[in-house]
Amino acid sequence: MNKILILFAHPLFEKSRVHTALVKSIPASGNITFHDLYEKYPDFNVRIAQEKTLLLEHDIIILQHPFYWYSIPPLLKQWIDLVLEFGWAYGPGGEALRDKIIFNVVSSGGTEEAYSSEGRNRFTIRQFLAPIEQTALLCHMNYIAPYVVHGTHLLTPEAIAGQAARYRALLDLLPGTPIDTLKNFDGKYLNELVTK
Amino acid sequence: MEGSFLKTALVFLASAVVFVPIAKKLGMGSVLGYLVAGIVIGPFVLSFVGTEGQDIMHVAEFGVVMMLFLIGLELDPREFWKMRKSIVGLGVLQMGLTAIVLGALGYFLLGYTHPTSLAVSLALAMSSTAIVLQTLKEKGLSRSSSGQSAFSVLLFQDIMVIPILAILPLLASSGLHEMESDHSLIDGLPGWLQTMLVISAVGGIFFVGKYIVVPLLRMISKTRLREMFTAAALLLVVGVAYLMELVGLSPALGTFLAGVVLANSEFKHELESDLDPFKGLLLGLFFIGVGASINFTLIANEPMLLTTLVFSVMVVKGLVLFLTGRIFGIRKDQNLMFCILLSQVGEFAFVLLTFSRQLQLLDTYWTEIMMAVTAMSMTITPLLLLVNERLIDPYFGTKEEVPRKAADIIDENNSVILVGFGHFGSTIGRFLRANGIKATILDNDSDRVELLRKMGFTVYYGDATRIDLLRSAGAENAKLLIAAIDSPETNAALVAIVKKHFPHIHVMARARNRNDAYELMDMGVTDIYRETLYTSVHMAIDVLKKLGFRSYTATRKAMDFIHYDEAALEKLSKHRHEMKDYIMNVKEQIEMQEKLLSEDLHLGLTSEDHAWDSDVMRKS
């Protein structure tokens, strides 16, 4: 069974309809650890040793966050800066995270069409996330396609409930899916695993 | 009563102490316990007390007066004003209909004259404030719709006692003159002057309450003599009751108004907890008196008549109440409660019946009979409530439980209690208020309380290490208690009391230093805030900055330090237990300090992480 670590970063979680529903749908399972970064480190003083231990205990790392300004929230960047240490995650002897799966779970106000070379935002979500992808590569991890909830401002409560149910299905599926299968996933969004 | 005072007190107290706990244990409520105690010590069982049951009741009626003062305290004026429609509406309907039906029955079936049947029916229309309110409080129903409606009706009845006392002499063809002396001081005055005096007495209560009593209480509280405050509280109630009697108004109504006036003052909780035991004992005495005054000889002689009378009076009252409840839209299960609650004949009937006899509206025989009916109906009510609770209520399914609870939380119980509003506590209070959290604040410095109230805080005066004060501040329903008293000893005492008596409350405590913190940890407090930690560390950040450190680096180091220090505190707290002596002497304090300093080196506080530091990469 794969162990999953959800690194959740949302600076105003209490006002987010989508993330509230997604987080609520996370199954209570010994294989899944939900880690609320803004709740744990409101002062941005990420405790490095604790975070390293957590990473070592899990096989799949999920970065769940809103997509403000085409990027990850600042605390998540702080987390990356502090935890992925030279000589531990990368560089000489930096092998601690080798072969782990990592991907983003992103909510975005824009539609899928807006995030394309013809759309308003000119780039795809995956393209915007290139720094994360490269960070993962540098740390010898397998970065796979993001799981995306688009057009969040327009979602009806029913649609949000549907999104939450699919996210739950994904999290039910992941522990039993072989790492190799995940590593070779070549779709655009990881959503395809649960919509097909 | 000729026997020594001690003997009488012994009999009353002993009977209460024996019977009330038994009644409580059997789930019958204290009222029934007191009544049984009264019957047992009364002339027909053990005859410890003779016929003075009635006299005792007159003294003990003061308990009802006190109870209405306390009820007034819990009701702020705005809430009272909102109730005016239900008071008048429910009251008029209940009293009017009951008096008409009972009067007609008396006239046609018992052959009473018009005036007599009116006098008796008005007396019988009264319900017992003492029994009903005590029961409501014990069963926690004061906020339910049946409780609120019952309270409205009772308040209206209390108000009506005065006009009824005024009308009765007009009904009587004779005996008018004997009564004059028995009445109030202002009877001889012309009507308009009487009205003026009554209005000014009521106005006086508001004025005196606001501008004299509150400053006076402040002054007394500064003496820090608790018994002086109790004395002042009693004086207040006695004074108001006396003033009301002087102008011919109901003392109960007067003290109720005085209570409403003081409901918004900072002394609310202190007054409540000071007067509560007096009220309880006097009410108990009153119920014992009722029990002792039941005339069993009469019951034995006229069993059929009395049973029929009690039954029909209670049924008529109950039916009228049911109709009233229906008209005012009380829900079915609540309405049943409302009917049973108010179906008895109340203590005011004793007053009105005695008065009627003096006016020769009623002969001695019928007065005795009606008095017996009153006492019997009062005894039956708690039994009926018990039957309702056990056998009938469960079949009605949905109760009002949910909305009632929600209202409670908003109305009177804030879920946070903040104790100590000095520089430390007030900062917490301001921050909470800025974020829309209303805490119940307790402080025992009356000067400060006054100032803060002027600034719009809800602060109550009192010694928070008193369990009763904590209880009236809502400790039973509170979620959090913040112990922020200046004196560490008092703060620790408070925490100990809360942990013992209100274990459900989560305590967050201020500690002056490391040693206070250890003590709090021993009491099981997990959220401890040392005054000497955070400020010192913040100052140290600025020292580092003055020495050339970058602000962010110094701040990160400081946050690491706090984290480390809190972990070390816990660790050393365990070590402290291994030391022989509980109280630390200077030598041991130094030893602790030494251990702390050596831990600093061991735990790698001085080691650094390499975030954003490319030196490490360049070296390798």
pLDDT in tens, B279-297: 888 888 888 887 887 778 8
Residues 6+ apart with CB under 8 A from B557: B541, B544
At residue B12, the 3 state secondary structure works out as: helix
Find the CB nearest B611 among A82, A87, A92.
Answer: A82
Count of residues for chain B? 620
Q: Is B533 a residue whose pLDDT tops 50? A: yes
Cα dihedral value B278, B279, B285, B289, nearest 10: 150
- More confident: A69 or B451: A69
Q: Indicate left, alpha or beta for B47 from its phi (over 0: left) and psi (-120 to 50: alpha).
A: left
Q: Is A129 a residue whose pLDDT tops 60? A: yes
**Looking at residue B584, what is its pLDDT?**
55
B512 and chain A in contact, CB less than 8 A? no
Q: Is B606 a residue whose pLDDT tops 70? A: no
- More confident: B395 or B569: B569
Find the CB nearest A86 among B556, B563, B610.
Answer: B610
- Beta carbon pairs, A and B, within 8 Å: 24
Listed in order, strand segments (DSSP E) in A67-117 are 101-107
Q: Is B397 a residue whose pLDDT tops 50? A: no
Query: Do A86 and B617 count as a contact with CB atoms less than 8 A apart?
Result: yes
Range of weakest confidence among B148-157, B177-186, B396-405, B574-583: B396-405
At residue B604, the 3 state secondary structure works out as: coil
Whole-angstrom Cα distance, residue B419 to residue B425?
7
Give the chain A residue nearest B615 (alpha carbons): A86
Residues 6+ apart with CB under 8 A from B181: none
- Best mutation target, B551, B617, B619, to test chain A (most A CBs within 10 A): B617
How confident is the model over B326-352, as a mean pLDDT? Answer: 83
Give the CA angle between residues B251, B256, B260 to the nearest 5°: 150
Q: Is B429 a residue whose pLDDT tops 50? A: yes
- Tell the burial category of B108 from Cβ atoms under 10 Å away from its Cβ (0-12, 13-18, 19+): exposed
Query: Do B563 and A45 count as a contact with CB atoms less than 8 A apart?
Result: yes
pLDDT digit string, tens, across residues A87-124: 999 999 999 999 999 999 999 999 999 999 999 999 99
Range of weakest confidence among A33-37, B98-102, B220-224, B407-411: B407-411
pLDDT digit string, tens, across residues A52-90: 999 999 999 999 999 999 999 999 999 999 999 999 999
Residues of chain A contacting B620 with CB distance shorter than 8 Å: 86-87, 91-92
Residue among A106, A112, A108 at smallest CA distance from A124: A112
Q: What is the pTM of this model?
A: 0.58
B4 and chain A in contact, CB less than 8 A? no
Residue among B290, B393, B301 at smallest CA distance from B339: B393
- More confident: B482 or B214: B482
Q: Is A7 a residue whose pLDDT tops 50? A: yes
**Looking at residue A64, what is its pLDDT?**
98
**Looking at residue B395, what is its pLDDT?**
64
At residue B222, the 3 state secondary structure works out as: helix
B619 and chain A in contact, CB less than 8 A? no
Whole-angstrom Cα distance, residue A157 to residue A163?
10
- The angle that helices A48-56 and A74-83 make with each other, rounded to 10 degrees, is 80
Q: Is B50 a residue whose pLDDT tops 70? A: no
Find the CB nearest A45 among B559, B610, B616.
Answer: B559
A81 and chain B in contact, CB less than 8 A? yes
Residue A190 phi, psi dihedral angles, 5° rounding? -65, -15
Residues of chain A contacting B612 with CB distance shorter than 8 Å: 81
Residues 6+ apart with CB under 8 A from A8: A19, A23, A34, A35, A36, A37, A38, A64, A65
At residue B328, the 3 state secondary structure works out as: coil
Whole-angstrom Cα distance, residue A189 to residue A103?
10
Q: Is B423 a residue whose pLDDT tops 70? A: yes
Residue A163 phi, psi dihedral angles, 5° rounding? -60, -45
How many CB atoms are closer than 10 A to CB A43?
11
**Looking at residue B412, what is its pLDDT?**
43
> Do B409 and B477 contact (CB within 8 A), yes or no?
yes
At residue B519, the 3 state secondary structure works out as: helix
**Looking at residue B279, what is its pLDDT?**
81
B556 and chain A in contact, CB less than 8 A? yes
State how far residue A47 is from chain B, nearest Cα, in angstroms.
9
**Looking at residue B182, what is its pLDDT?**
45
Percent above pLDDT 70 for chain B? 85
Query: Do B617 and A48 count as a contact with CB atoms less than 8 A apart?
Result: no
Residue B34 phi, psi dihedral angles, 5° rounding? -65, -45
pLDDT digit string, tens, across residues B214-245: 888 888 887 777 788 888 888 888 888 888 88
Give the chain A residue nearest B610 (alpha carbons): A85
Percent above pLDDT 90 for chain B? 9
B618 and chain A in contact, CB less than 8 A? no
- More confident: B266 or B562: B562
Structure tokens at B337: 């409660």
Q: Is B261 a residue whose pLDDT tops 90? A: no
The complex scores an ipTM of 0.81
Q: Is B504 a residue whose pLDDT tops 80? A: yes
Q: Is B48 a residue whose pLDDT tops 70? A: yes
Residues 6+ apart with CB under 8 A from A136: A102, A142, A143
How far is C-alpha A64 from the geometric centre of its chain's CA atoms?
4
Q: Is B377 a residue whose pLDDT tops 80? A: yes
Query: Do A92 and B556 count as a contact with CB atoms less than 8 A apart?
Result: no
Q: What is the DSSP letter of A58?
A: -
pLDDT digit string, tens, across residues A13-53: 999 999 999 999 999 999 999 999 999 999 999 999 899 99
Whole-angstrom Cα distance, residue B371 to residue B352?
10
Q: Is B54 a residue whose pLDDT tops 70? A: no
How far is C-alpha B134 from the geometric centre of its chain's CA atoms?
11
